[in-house]
Structure 1
C-alpha cells in the first residue's frame, strides 16, 4: 500500500467531472437531446466513427460541433436506445486528458409486431480538455467492436 498514489482533491474532482461528461453523452443520446449532446464538445471538435474498429480509416469524420447534429439526429430512427457505459481508463495531464470508455449501445426498432434489438459493442477513445472550468470532448473516436442484431419476442 505504500506505493499507492495519493490523489489530490482537484484530480478527484477532474476525474469525476470527466466521468460525468462521458455519462452525459449517453444520457443525451437516450433522451434525444442532440443540442445537449453537441454542447459536450469543443467548437473545433474531431469526431470519428469507425464502424469496424480494425479499420485504419474512419467511415465518418466530423470536424466541428455544429456538424454533429446529423449524427445525433440519426438516433431518431430507433424507437428506443439505451447506452450502458462500462469501465473507463482516464489519464490526466493538467487541463487535458485522454481516455478509453467501453459501452454497450442498445437500439430498438419496432415495425408493427416485428421488434429487433441491435446491440453495438463500442470503445470510445477520447481526448478531453478543460475550458472555463468545464471538461469537454476535444476528440472522440467511436470504434465499433461488433454488432449483434436479433428479433425480440413480445
Structure 2
C-alpha cells in the first residue's frame, strides 16, 4: 500500500471537522433546526439546488446565509425526514477544502390515510472555508440524481 498518503494530525482533525459539518447539516434538517442549519454556512455562502443533476443551470439559487431560511423551513411540509449520508471525498487546501458527499434523503408525508415516502438520491458538491478555526460551507450544490415516491402501508 505504497500509495496511501500519511495524514498529519491537523489534516485528520480538519477532515473530522468537515465531516461533522456535513453530518450536522443532515441532523439539523431532520430536527427542523433551520437556524442551526443556517449557522453552518459562511455569511456570503452560495447554495444552489439542481432538481436534476444533468441540468447545467440551477433550479434555485441562494446568495447568502440569511436567505437560506425558506429552503430549510420547507422541510416542515413533511411529517418526518431522514437524511442518511454515505461516502464523502474531501480534498484539503489550507483554510479551504472541496468535497463531494452522497446522501439518501427520505421524506414522509401523511395526509389522513394517505402515506407516501419520497426518497431523493442526492450528491452534494461543496466548497468549505475555515474561519476563526471553524469550518463552514462556502458553497453547496445540491444535485438530485433521482427521486422515488411510493405509497406506505401501515
| TM-score, normalised by the number of residues in structure 2 | 0.99
Residue matched to 2:86: 86
Deviations 1:32-59 (A, max 9, x none): 0000000000000000000000000000
Alpha-carbon offset, residue 135 of structure 1: 0.3
- Deviation of the 1:20 alpha carbon: 0.1
SS at match of 1:24: helix
| Separation in 2, partners of 1:82, 1:3 | 36
Structure 2: which 5+ residue stretches go unaligned?
A: none
1:32-111 aligned at under 5 Å gives the runs 32-111=32-111
Task: Give secondary structure in 1 for the equivalent of 2:25.
Answer: helix
How far does residue 82 in structure 1 lie from its aligned partner after superposition?
0.1
- Residue 6 of structure 1: CA displacement? 1.0
The two structures, once aligned, show a CA RMSD in angstroms of 0.6
Distance 1:111 1:59 in 2: 27
The residue that corresponds to 2:118 in the other structure is 118
Aligned to 2:135: 135
Q: How far apart are residue 125 of structure 1 and its match?
A: 0.1
Name the count of aligned residue pairs: 154
**Residue 148 of structure 2 is aligned to residue 148 of structure 1:** yes
TM-score by length of structure 1 reads 0.99
Q: CA deviation at 1:4?
A: 2.3
